[in-house]
Amino acid sequence: MKIKIFAACAAAMLMLTGCGNTIGQNKDIVVDPKPKTTEAVPTIDEDGTESEKPEEPTESAVKDAKDDKDKKKTSKATTTKTPETTTKATTTTAAPEEGTYEYFNGCILANSGTSNVRAMEEYYYNSENGRYLADCVDVYADSVGSDVNTYLMMIPTSQEFYIPDDLRSSYPDQKECADEVYSMMTSGKSVPINSTLEEHKGEYLYSRSDYHWQPLAAYYASKVFADKAGVDFASLDSYEKVVREGYLGAFYSVNGIYPLEDAPDTFTYYKPANLDSLSVLFHDTYFGEGVPSSLFFEDNDISASYTVFVGTDDTILEVDTDVDNDRVLVIFKDSYGNALVPFLTSSFSKIYLCDNRFFNINSVKFAKDVGATDVLFALGAASSSSYDKISLIESNMNQ
For the chain, the domains span 9-397
- Please give the C-alpha separations between residue 132 and each of 171, 333, 341, in angstroms, as whole numbers: 21, 17, 27
- pLDDT of 35 > 60? The answer is no
Reported as a single tens digit per residue, the pLDDT across 264-279 is 999 999 999 999 999 9
pLDDT at res. 68: 43
pLDDT at res. 4: 35
pLDDT at res. 92: 53
Instruction: Report the interhelical angle of 387-397 vs 127-144 (nearest 10°).
Output: 20
| Rounded CA Rg of the chain | 20
Reported as a single tens digit per residue, the pLDDT across 343-388 is 999 999 999 999 999 999 999 999 999 999 999 999 999 999 999 9
pLDDT at res. 103: 95
Distance between CA atoms of residues 363 and 283, nearest Å: 15
Residue 235 neighbours by CB under 8 Å, 6+ apart: none
Reported as a single tens digit per residue, the pLDDT across 136-170 is 999 999 999 999 999 999 999 999 999 999 999 99
pLDDT at res. 94: 62
Each residue of 22-49: b (16+ CB within 10 Å) or e?
Answer: ebbeeebeeeebbeebbebbbbbbbbbb
pTM of the model: 0.80
At 144, is the secondary structure helix, strand, or coil? helix
- pLDDT of 1 > 70? The answer is no
- pLDDT of 99 > 90? The answer is no
- pLDDT of 51 > 50? The answer is no
Over range 302-330, report the average pLDDT: 95
**Percent residues over pLDDT 90 in the chain:** 74
